[in-house]
Amino acid sequence: MKNAYESPFSTRYASDEMQYLFSADKKFKTWRRLWVALARAEMKLGLPVTQEQVKELESHLDDINYDVAQAREKQVRHDVMSHVYAYGVQCPNAKGIIHLGATSCYVGDNTDVIIMKEALQVVRRKLINVIHLLAKFADEYKSMPALAYTHLQPAQLTTVGKRATLWINELLMDLEDLDYRVSTLKLLGSKGTTGTQASFLDLFDGDSKKIDELEQMIAEEMGFSSVVPVSGQTYSRKMDSQVLAVLSGIAQSASKFSNDMRILQNFKEMEEPFEKNQIGSSAMPYKRNPMRCERITALARYVMIDSLNPAFTAGTQWFERTLDDSANKRISVAEAFLAVDSILNILLNVCDGLVVYPKVVRQRVLKELPFMATENIMMEAVKKGGDRQELHERLRTHSIAAGKVVKEEGGENDLIDRVCADPAFMLSHDEIDSILVPENFTGRSAEQVTIFLNTCVRPIEEANREILGENAELSV
C-alpha cells in the first residue's frame, strides 16, 4: 500500500518472526487456544461441556473466519464477542459453551502474557548470539593495546578485547534481567469481571477448590506454572512496565555499544561492516558512514522513551481497571518488542563483521604513550642516580612544552626527544624505546578478558549451544 501509512518496523526493520508474534493471526489463534483450554478444564471438572464440543473447537483453532468476525463487530462494537460469535458459527455444537464464565480479559490479557513470553524468548536467543559474537571478538583482540578514554580524553591503555568485555558485561546484565522476568511471568488466569471469580463460583456451586484447579489446568496447558494470585479485571499493568524495563535495558546497552563504535569509526580504529556496493553519502563518494550503528542509536532512543508508556499506564489504572490502557498498550508493547528485535538484528550483523585497523590503533597509542610513560621514565632515571623531585619537575615542564607543539603548532609529540636531550635523565633513545612498549602498559587487560570469558560467558554458551550461530540479514 503506497497511499497509507506503513510502519517502518514492518517494511524495514523487524524480523518476520517477531512481526508474526504481534500479528492478528497469532492473537486470535491464541484466543481460540485459550477458549479450548477453558472448555477442556471445565469439562474435566464436571461442568456440562462434552468431549465432542471440545473436539469441535479444536478442529477450528487455526481457520479463523475473519470475515464473519469483522461483520459482527460492525454490529456489536465488541471485538471479543465478535470472535466468540464467529467461532460459534464454525462450531455450532459448541457455540453455547464458548467463553463460559469468562470476561474479555480472559482471552485478551492471557494472550498478551503468552505473546510477551514468546517474544522475550526470541529476544533472548538473539541477545545470546550477540554476546557470543562479541566474546569471539574479545578473545581475538584481548592482547592488542589501545587507547582507553575517560571523559573522552586519552587515559591509560586498555586492549581492544578488554573494551569489548565492557559491552558484553552490560548485555549479560540484560540477559539476567530477561531470564528473571521470563521465569516470573504469570497468566491472569480466570478471574472474572472484577477479579473476584464470582461467575466461576456460581458455575461450580461454590466449590473454590475447583476454581483453583481450573486456573492451574489452563496455566499448564498454555505453558505456565501458575497464575497471578490476585487481580482486578486485568493483570497488574506493572507487568507490562517490568517487561519493557528489560527491553529498555537492552536498548541502553546497545546504545552504549553503537555510540562507542561511531566514535571509534571517527578515530579510524574500528568500523562496522561496509558492503562492496554500499554508498556512504549521496554527495561525498569517499564517505563510510556508520549507518548501522546510527540506526541502533536511533531505535534504542525510541525504546528507552517508549518504556515510559506502560509505566504511566500502570500508575494511572483506577481500582479494578480502566480502559485507558488498551490503545496505549497495544502500540507501546508491540513496538518496543519490534524495535528491540530490530536492534538485535543490526547488532548481529555488525558484531559478525567488526573491522579493526591495527596500524591505526597502534599509531594512536604511540602518539600518546610518551605522556603515559613519564613515571616509568622517571623511575629509570632515578635508578641512574637522578633526583626524583627534580626529574618530576623537568618532566612536567617538558610535557607542557611537547603538548604545546602538538596542540598549538600541529606538530608531532617530541617529548622523548626533549627527555633524551636533557642530561638530568641520563637516558638514550634506545633505553627509552625499551620502556615505550605498549604491551607493558595494558595492566591485566588480556588476563581479565580470559577470566571474564571463562567464568561469565562460556557457561552461557555451553548451556545454549543449540541456539548459537544466528546472524541477521538486513533488508536496508
Task: Determine the Cα–Cα distance for residues 54 and 90; give it in Å rounded to an integer.
Answer: 13
User: For residue 371, is pLDDT > 90?
Assistant: no
Judged against a pLDDT cut of 80, whether residue 195 lies above it is answered with yes
Share the mean pLDDT of the chain: 93
pLDDT of residue 475: 56
pLDDT of 286 strictly over 50: no
Q: What's the rounded mean pLDDT across residues 108-121?
A: 98
The whole-number pLDDT of residue 461 equals 97
Mean of the pLDDT values across residues 350-379?
92
pLDDT at residue 78, as a whole number: 94
Catalytic position from the list 10, 225, 281, 434: 281
Please compute the mean of the pLDDT values over residues 344-355 and round it to a whole number: 96
What does the pLDDT read at residue 476? Answer: 53
Q: Mean pLDDT across the stretch 208-224?
A: 97
Query: pLDDT exceeding 70 applies to what percent of the chain?
Result: 96
Band of the pLDDT at 284, cuts 50, 70, 90?
A: very low
Task: Give residue 283's pLDDT.
Answer: 46
Q: Helices 24-44 and 208-221, interaxial angle, to 10°?
A: 140
Burial 93-131 (b: 16+ CB within 10 A, else e): ebbebbbbbbbbbbbbbbbbbbbbbbbbebbbbbbbbbb
The residue among 67, 62, 251 whose CA lies nearest residue 171 is 251
Read off the pLDDT of residues 287-334 as tens digits, 9 standing for 90 and up: 478 999 999 999 999 999 999 999 999 999 999 999 999 999 999 999
Average pLDDT over residues 134-138: 98
Q: Is the pLDDT of residue 277 over 50?
A: no
pTM for this prediction: 0.92
Q: Is residue 280 predicted with pLDDT exceeding 80?
A: no
Question: What domains can you pick out in the chain, each with its CATH number?
Answer: 16-97 (1.10.275.10), 104-357 (1.20.200.10), 374-435 (1.10.40.30)
Query: Can you give the pLDDT at residue 279?
Result: 45
Helix pair angle (104-140, 79-90), 10° resolution: 100
> For the segment 50-85, what is each residue's pLDDT rounded down to a tens digit?
999 999 999 999 999 999 999 999 999 999 999 999
Bridge partners, residue 270, by sequence: 356
Mean pLDDT value of segment 150-160:
94
Q: Which of 315, 455, 351, 343 is nearest to 14 (CA)?
A: 343
The DSSP 8-state label assigned to residue 205 in this structure reads T
φ, ψ of residue 149 to 5 degrees: the values are: -135, 135
Residue, of 62 and 279, whose pLDDT is higher:
62
146, 361 contact by CB (below 8 A): yes
Q: Are 82 and 91 in contact (CB under 8 A)?
A: no
The string over 133-154, giving b where at least 16 C-beta atoms fall within 10 Å of a residue's C-beta and e elsewhere, is bbbbbbbebbbbbbbbeeeeeb
Tell me what pLDDT residue 406 has.
86
Asked about 281 being catalytic, the answer comes back as: yes
Q: Which of 258, 29, 242, 257 is nearest to 120 (CA)?
A: 242
Q: What pLDDT score was predicted for residue 229? A: 97
